Every structure is written in structure tokens, then in C-alpha cells.
Amino acid sequence: MTAQELRRMYVEFFKERGHCEIASASLLPDNDPTVLFTTAGMHPLVPYLLGESHPQGKRLTNVQKCIRTCDIDEVGDDTHLTFFEMLGNWSLGDYFKEESVSLSFEFLTTVLHIPVERLAVTVFSGDDIVARDDETAKMWKTKGLSDSQIFFYGREENWWGPAGVTGPCGPDTEIFYDMGKESCSEDCGPACHCGKYVEIWNNVFMEYNKNSDGSYEPLHNKNVDTGMGMERVLTILNGKNNVYDTELFIPVMNKLKSLTDISYSDENKRDFRIICEHSRAITFILGDPKRITPSNTEQGYILRRLIRRTIRLIKKHGFPDNILCDLVNVIIQQYKDVYKELGENQNFILDQIEKESCLFRKTLDSGLKKAERYFALLEKDELLSGELAFRLYDTFGFPIEFTMELADERGVRVDITNFEQRFKEHQEKSRQGAEGKFKGGLADASIQTARLHTATHLLNGALRKVLGDSIYQRGSNITEERLRFDFSFTRKLTAEELIEVSRIVNEAIHKSIDVKCVEMTLDEARESNAIGIFDNKYGDRVKVYTIPGYSKEICGGPHAFNTNELGKFIILKEEASSAGVRRIKAKIEYD
């Protein structure tokens, strides 16, 4: 089975059962300050899972492109990926556990023809607060799964949410494929990491609301959120034991082999895989319509880290310096019919890689000079501290193996134990920052975040009035304290321009204008001059929020009912975000 066949079969299966197909959202989430990338299909749907009505209805399905860096150190094994596609279906207050389980089981066994005996599922085991989910376990038994295929686990394995500190949450049931390996122990099960079980689908049942005092109460409208890993399922369907043997990676793996004289063997397999996997992630991040560029902060930092890690591995094996662009070109050609933005942004993608490659080569040269100074201060057999070794890694991109080779050549040693300690601390900080916990932002759906979200609409409209219609939003995030708004512009705003932007926003606030929401087709939104990215980001029907005279945008998040709720708008800072993108930070104050 091909990847495109699997995408089509999944979406068509759910469309035939009343679901509306929605498009893949950007890899960069809007208005959420706690996660750097879209990590799951549910991420762009948080406002609707929290109660907003979706213009496409109560049953939705799609294929969502995702980035997760929390498992970046696992990349190179058989299943973990930085970029992946998630097949998803959602019920927003419509069907619940029974139909969700039935739909998943039918698709796996009837459409994909996966034998029932190769499935295993996990179910919430219950605790002092929420009872054991025997209901879901019984449903799986009615589908033909035996007791030995059903495993009960606690909150760490089988509970989702809430998205914020409070809100909708509930147990989940995860579906695994038994790879046919022998059990590693008597306790071996889906929670084990021995490789016998591979997770392929997760069905989350949002049936509780968590209150501020920590208590739970049943929700009136219960939601279902599911996500299936496309790469993993494709691997299984094609009888492979790792994702790199599928059509998704074969073209770029073959290109890498053709560009080098080194064979693909157990000795270098992991590095080959990382180079190809990261090349794909780099392509999709740079190809996103929001045009993120390498930088030292947030998404740009992750992008820079992926590019530089790939270049380090290329250099480690003595490959030609410029092969990263060759690999990325293969990926663009492979995916551009499915994700058109890759073809449209091809020149931008390759240009950014070339710029970052040149910059990194200079950084490596500087690092080599710095390393020479460090080593010159040491006597034979003396230790280079873990702190300095980590500084070479973190600042100049030196892999520890490179530093150890240089030390060996000079007859000195490296404090590898201290380096590893510092490296683990760095990993944990990166993991926490990349993974996020959905605290704040639109996930909290508080009155204050709704007001700040409305303020971004007024800010966008004011910027377009002052600077012209070439201004477009490039990203935003919101906390309880402030908003941050990124927009396309090439120079620093003058003091006079910022004063005028603030004046326009506050003028709209003082006029006490009702914020109006109308559902319409995408063509109707375009004809009405609504602001938005008119591509496949949106479905057939969209919500258009209007603040007459000031703003008209396609949007889905929570808003204020009237501009007079916003208080006084104050710009805190205006600065560069990345090449061709400016950033404004602002807040609203109340008398």
C-alpha cells in the first residue's frame, strides 16, 4: 500500500460515516505560547474541543502534519520521528466511546485487513478520583479481543488533559500492533519498550471537566479526539520492521547512498537514518507558509538545531558539504503534490539551508580555534572539563566525539562524566520547552486570553492601515499577561507609526463595537474581503469575525463580545523576529 492510498482510504472511510474533511493546519500553532509546533491533529482544534462550534460540523477528519522534538534523541531507531503525519477523526459532542471504538476497529480490520489477533489495546485502570474504564474494555471484548490483548494502565499511560490547568479531559484507549516478537518478561505489555508492541492509534474520551479545586465533574458535551501515526501504520501494512524501509524514506535514503561512497551498514545505519529524517523535518518547517527561518530562539532554534545536527553528521562521515540541498530537493519532489507549499516555497527552502550551512561552517571554524586554545592550556593526560566540552557542543556545534578525537590527538582527556551530566540537563530543558503542557494561551480559553486574541485582530487591522495591505500575520501567541504578534515587514517601525497603530486600536476599543461572527463559504469570505491565508488551511466553511471599520478575519478562537471589554491597549516592544518578519508585544490595562 502506498502512503497516498492510506491517506485517501482513511479520510474517505470517515467521510462516508458523516465526517467532514478539514485541511492540515500550519506546523506553527496560532496563539499558544507553550508549544513551539503543532504536535498532533487536535492541536489546531483546541478551541472547538473547549466548546467553540466548528463551521464544518461535529464530525471531522484530516491528515495533519506534525513536529515533535521531545523524542529527538530516539530518532534513528525503527519508529521515532521528528516530522510525521497524523491521521485523525473527531467527534465534537456527537458520538462517544462505543462508536469511536467501533469505527477504529472497523477501519483496522475491515479496510486495512489487520488480523484481530495482532491487535492489543490499553485502557484506563482508574484511581481514587475517576473509576476504571470497564466500559471501553467490554467494548473491545465484543469486537473479539481476548483478556490477554487488553491491558489496564494508570494516568501516565491512559489519560489525556486537561489542555490547561482546568477544562475537558478524560481517559483514552490506545491501540497497538503486536510485531510478533517474544515477550521480554512476564510483565511485558504495550507500556514496555522492548519493541514487541508498536502504538498506532489513540482514542481520547473527553468526558470530564477538571475544576480549579482539582475535582472532576462529567461533561454535558463529550468529545472524542483520535490520532493515528501514518508512518507506523504504513510500515506495518507493507510488512516492514522500520519506517525507513517504506516509500516515505526510500527515495531520500537512495539519494544519500548515491552521493557517498559509504555503504549503508549497521555501523552507520543510525546516522544515515537521522540525516534523512532530519532532512524531511527541515523541509517541512522551512516549507510552511509562515516561513520560519533559523534563529537562536523558539521554532527558529529548533530548525537551526536540526540543520546543524544534520550537517555535523554529514561532516562526520566525510560526505560533500552541499548534499543537504540535494536531499531536500528529493523530498520536495516527493511531497509537493500532497503538500503544495513545498513546491511553492522551494527556492526559499534551499536558500535558507545554504545560508545556514555557510554560517555554520564559519561557526565550526571559530569553534576549532576556541578548542585549540582550551587544549593549549592543558598538560598531557590532563582533563578538559565537562563544562568546556559542553560549551564547544552547545555554542559551536562540536559533537562530543569530535572533541574527544581532538583531545586524543593532543594527548589529553575529556571529563566525559561531567559532560554527560550537563548534556542531560540540557536535554531535559529542551524536552520541556518543546513538549509544552498547554498551560495558558487559547487552551485556557479564559476571558483575558479571549480579549487579547481580539486585540490581535485590531492590531492586524491597524498595521494594515498604517503600513499598507502587504502586511500579513506570520504568527502569534498569547498569555494571560500579554500578546505577541508577528507580521510580514522588512524594517523597524518608526515611533510615529507605533503611536498611530496604538491610536487606531484604542479608538476601536473606545467606540464599543460589537464583535460579529458569521459562518460562510471560503469563496464568500474571499469576496467579502476577509483577511486570511486562502489556501488549503481552511475547510469549505469558515468563521469570519468582523469588527466593523477595523478588522475582518477568518478565525476560530475565542473572542470578546464587544471591544469595550479590552481596556487600554499598550505596545510594549517592537523588534525583528526573523528575516522579513517583525514582532510586536503588547498588553491591555484596565482603570
Q: Helix-strand-coil percent breakdown of the chain, rounded to 5?
A: 45, 20, 35
Place of cell 482510504: 9
Beta bridge partners of 569: 588
Q: Flag whether 193 is marked binding.
A: no
CA distance 304 to 352: 10
162 vs 46: CA distance, rounded Å: 11
Amino acid type, 403? T
All cell numbers assigned to 348? 526559499
Angle between helices 346-376 and 269-287 (to 10 degrees): 130
Q: What is the dihedral of CA 69, 71, 76, 82, to 10 degrees?
A: -30
Residues present in the chain in total: 591
How far apart are the C-alpha atoms of 145 and 11, rounded to whole Å? 25
Q: Which three cell numbers stand for residue 517?
A: 461572527
How far apart CA 272 and CA 253 sit, in angstroms, is 8
Cα–Cα distance measured from residue 293 to residue 492, given in angstroms and rounded to the nearest whole number: 18
CA distance 469 to 466: 9
DSSP for 258-315 reads HH-S----TTTHHHHHHHHHHHHHHHHHHHSTT-----SSHHHHHHHHHHHHHHHHHH
User: Which among 230, 141, 110, 232 is positioned nearest to 179, based on CA atoms?
Assistant: 232
Q: How far apart are CA 488 and CA 473, in angstroms?
A: 7
- Residue 453 counted as an annotated binding residue: yes
- Alpha carbons within 13 angstroms on the beta-carbon side of residue 559 total 27
Report the binding-site residues: 453, 457, 555, 559
Report the binding-site residues for Zn(2+): 453, 457, 555, 559
